[in-house]
Structure 1
Amino acid sequence: MANLFYFITDSVSIGLTLSTLLVLTFLMHFITRRKKTPYNFPPGPAPLPLIGNLHLLDIRRQDLSLLKLSEKYGPIFTIHLGTNKAIVLTGLETIKEALVEGADVFSDRAFLPIFHAIQRGNGVFFASGEMWRTTRRFTMSSMRNLGMGKKQIEDKIIEELQFLTGKVESYKGRQFKLREFACGPTNITFAMLFGNRFDYNDPIYMNLLDLIDEIVILLGSPYLQLFNLYPMFSIFMRTHKIILEKIDEVCKVLKTDIQAKRNKIDVNCLYTFIETIVAKQEEERTNKDTLFHEDNVVATVLDLVMAGTETTSTTVQWGILLMMKYPEVQKKVQKEIDSVLESGRLPRFEDRNAMPYSNAVIHEVQRFANLIPHIPHATATDTNFKGYYIPKGTTVIPLLTSVLYDKRHWETPLQFNPNHFLDSEGKFVKKEAFVPFSTGRRLCLGESLAKMELFIFFTGLLQKFTFTPPDGMKECQLDLDADPCFTLRPQPHLECCAK
């Protein structure tokens, strides 16, 4: 109820604010309309004063609106988001040319006011320049040393699978929300960060899950999008303040563990990511130019908590939902599982090679869910790209939706179809256009861990259970429209039964 009040207050305040801003912008528009720019931007729809091209966009699903505009303006075009210009890249070839071949130029992160307010340029996901390069390099190396993508973490995933199946069993066939599946993947991330898994009833764990859930939802709010577009009017807005309050609550938990690890650090026995980054911080304490200062340590751990708990757990939820929607696919997966996992042994990651259909289904879940349609990049220098001169600091949107839903690469791009990843003989086929983890230097650093988790959790759950809609609901009634939060989630009201 409190959030609803704040949203209504936001709406009234924004309306008054934008009315005033509209008058000022029209005046500035007529004063400066003859000013020429030295830059040669790609073509795009003509902007209106103040709002730019926002009238052409569904603010909840900007990716689909941008995909539609690309049909008219081609694989690279300019869009005006409020008073800011952005370059939209669509199609596999264009995105790879920028993010892979032009990685030095296109690897910066666009300035987004909410993430600047949270991280202040620190961390591994929303930082740029040397801060990003150094922190990412250290994080990747540390996570690999801790077993990411290796047998030691695989054993933890298999152990966690058994706790998760126990949780599902506890409902005894009664319906429960899809969000309950978040516990398993989240605990894997927490184990790597903190060194131990949490009991599903642990109040600290449940509070963290609730906070993360609320933050992810608020990050997709239209009111938050308006804050990112018009941060100068933040005094009249509330949503970003709620997010920052909840981030502070998460950071209190993180800081407590960071300090505890610092008090008893043994550089010869580093078992968690927090221990490794604290050790690095101690090692560089005398270096006044170190990037491993306290703000960056906390920001990096926060990035891993938020990303590592949301993306994989949401993909698992999409997988269960799609199995309920398409029971014939679920039956084929279960048949393959039974034929490969003899005597009911638990799945291991290497089993994917003997389970092409299940592997194809998991890949198709990721493609169809299109979890993160885009996160804006920025140009690190002035550059010429495809005949256009684009200045340093320009926002660039690599639209992954345009690749994952491209009819040139997928036979039925808007439908869930595991055959997208199978050849005529039923063998698994890798697809270059499969880019749910992005591509280039900003490729998701947890990709190998996510792949292992998805395979083990998905096949392990289907080995044990058959998932059906709640009693009284038919498969055709299940809603596959995404709920646009920071990620694209299944609708929050959806429930399932496990039998």
Structure 2
Amino acid sequence: MDSFFSTVRSYLDWDFKCLLLFVVIFILIADYIKNRRPASFPPGPSALPIVGNIFTIDHMKAHESLMQLAGKYGDVYSLRMGQTWMVVLNRFNVMKEALVNQGDSLADRPELPLQQDVGHGLGIISSNGHIWKQQRRFALSTLRYFGFGKKSLEPVILDEFTHCAKDFNDFSGKPFAPHLIINNLVSNVICSLVFGHRFKYNDEKFGKLMKWFDQVLQIEASIWVQVYAFKYRPHQTAKNIWEEVKDFIREELKEHRKNWDPSDPRDYIDCYLNEIQTSKGQADSTFDEENLIISVLDLFVAGSETTATTLRWAFLYMVKYPEIQEKVQAEIDTVIGQSRQLSMDDRVNLPFTDAVIHEVQRIGNIVPLSLLHITSKEMQLEGYTIPKGITVILNMTSVLFDENEWETPHTFNPGHFLNKEGKFVKRPAFIPFSAGKRLCLGESLARMELFLFFASFMQHFTFSMPAGVKPVMDYRFGITLAPHPYEMIATPR
């Protein structure tokens, strides 16, 4: 009897192993058939079953990994992240063809799980179609009304600099970390436009908001974004942070409603509340309170993080290259002096200063992979067919460090933006704000802030590292490439 049961158990074990083997082989074959590249699809590295190329990329240096793959597979190649096909675009000519010449095919954003959980397809950055067009048009017209990209915004920016300069002076030549102060400096400009007021640098609630932005932008660029469907903890953290930010905006909205006068709009929120009221009942209106909250959140991210990060890189490069810092200061002293306040009108007379700012943006490579796009219809690119519904990665690193576009792409060289006569020249391949229909909404504001803030800092301070400390030029990878936390000394001039 024992031998009989032993035989049955052995048979069942063998039967289970066969079944398991069959299931595994079936899954592998099904995955291969489902995900094999069509003949005209861009080439790329071989993908593992189920997970695809998730482990092909170093997700702490994704832009560098993508550059290496471009060297092997060309300027247009494909990757599979899990079950999602992506096409990576490299170099300026390819980007221009895709974003400008065929811009209608790449005007949409993919529906990423985290963004959908937080923004529900609303707002300006992650929305598509009618919602995106209506929200972006309203945002541009309203912000222009309040001086966006115009001289009338100069006093707001320069006044904010005076608050920041006071904080710098309070350190009395001692080392300090500029990270939070610079985030506050830049964010307060967008706060003035959106909320109608600024926040004090020691405001605890606002300080938390700045730290949340820094944390969440790193999480969203990690490998966990690719496997968000499994609800790993980092994504729950990111989702929780965004909910806290939304609550912050809701409190501001609540305060606005108390003193809201439709006949006298004070800021973006007031104008949006007016639009909600006037468009009520219109079938095609996308204006409601939830869209307002997400749009304000988008304006915060677009209008603060990248500019603040650029300024933090600028300080590091001035410390690393003191001879360039001295040359900037000499130009400002000659043209402006140290007492007169700067103006955007001065930029044309400060070509070297302007070139330094642009070179910081180029080599700082602040948004190395831009934001994801998705094809809204089939497109032809470099002889390949990219079907509708394919996620597209714009490898901006390949443009800003292209050896065919820049004489010394891996060297900090303001001469990239100067002609033989020393006049400023903007290069076609300088597209840190992307291009085409999804061109960064905040470009004009960012350009104004970078010039006025950077030149004002150079006019009033000399920057250096604490004794015995060398600047660390390594980055922290996220949606933005940020410098590692550092301390510096700001010596009043």
Q: Does the TM-score normalized on the shorter chain lie above 0.5?
A: yes
**1:137 corresponds to which residue?**
137
**1:491 corresponds to which residue?**
484
Change (3 A) 1:429 1:195: same
Change (3 A) 1:302 1:407: same
CA distance in 2, matches of 1:343, 1:400: 37
Change (3 A) 1:33 1:182: closer
Q: Aligned-pair distance for 1:25?
A: 7.4
Paired residue secondary structure (1:88)? strand
Candidates 457, 462, 465, aligned match of 1:466:
462
Paired residue secondary structure (2:304)? helix
**2:300 corresponds to which residue?**
305
CA distance in 2, matches of 1:420, 1:495: 29
**1:127 corresponds to which residue?**
127
**1:108 corresponds to which residue?**
108
**1:231 corresponds to which residue?**
228
**2:10 corresponds to which residue?**
none
Contact kept? 1:315, 1:371, Cα under 8 Å: yes
Paired residue secondary structure (2:293)? helix
**1:355 corresponds to which residue?**
350
Paired residue secondary structure (1:342)? coil
CA distance in 1, matches of 2:489, 2:23: 56
Change (3 A) 1:25 1:302: farther
CA distance in 2, matches of 1:307, 1:467: 27
**1:408 corresponds to which residue?**
404
CA distance in 1, matches of 2:214, 2:29: 45
Q: Give the stretch that moved more between structures: 60-69 or 430-439.
A: 60-69
Structure ID, larger Rg: 2
CA distance in 2, matches of 1:90, 1:313: 26
Q: Extract unaligned runs of 5+ from structure 1.
A: 1-22
Q: Aligned-pair distance for 1:56?
A: 2.6
Contact kept? 2:187, 2:303, Cα under 8 Å: yes
Candidates 379, 391, 394, aligned match of 2:375:
379
**1:33 corresponds to which residue?**
32
1:334 correspondence with 2:333: no
CA distance in 1, matches of 2:444, 2:30: 53
Paired residue secondary structure (1:389)? strand
TM-score using structure 1 length: 0.90
1:260 correspondence with 2:255: yes
CA distance in 1, matches of 2:33, 2:489: 63
TM-score using structure 2 length: 0.91
CA distance in 1, matches of 2:396, 2:23: 36
Cα offsets for 1:13-63 (capped at 9, x unmatched)? xxxxxxxxxx98764222353467767311111111133223331111211
CA distance in 2, matches of 1:66, 1:25: 31
CA distance in 2, matches of 1:327, 1:463: 14
Paired residue type of 1:84:
T
Paired residue type of 1:148:
F
Q: Aligned-pair distance for 1:137?
A: 1.1
Cα offsets for 1:428-466 (capped at 9, x unmatched)? 111000011011111111111111100111011111111
**2:64 corresponds to which residue?**
64
**2:184 corresponds to which residue?**
183
Q: Aligned-pair distance for 1:138?
A: 1.0
**1:450 corresponds to which residue?**
446
1:389 correspondence with 2:385: yes
Paired residue secondary structure (1:257)? helix
1:163 correspondence with 2:151: no
Change (3 A) 1:32 1:397: closer
Paired residue type of 1:332:
K
User: Where in structure 2 are the equivalents of 1:91-102 lying within 5 Å?
Assistant: 91-102=91-102
Contact kept? 1:39, 1:390, Cα under 8 Å: no
1:193 correspondence with 2:190: no
Contact kept? 2:110, 2:391, Cα under 8 Å: yes
**1:83 corresponds to which residue?**
83
**1:215 corresponds to which residue?**
216
Paired residue type of 1:466:
T
Contact kept? 1:87, 1:394, Cα under 8 Å: yes
Q: What percentage of aligned pairs have identical amino acids?
A: 38
Q: Extract unaligned runs of 5+ from structure 2.
A: 1-21
Contact kept? 1:265, 1:279, Cα under 8 Å: no
Q: Aligned-pair distance for 1:112?
A: 2.0
CA distance in 2, matches of 1:319, 1:160: 18
Paired residue type of 2:390:
T
Paired residue type of 2:475:
A
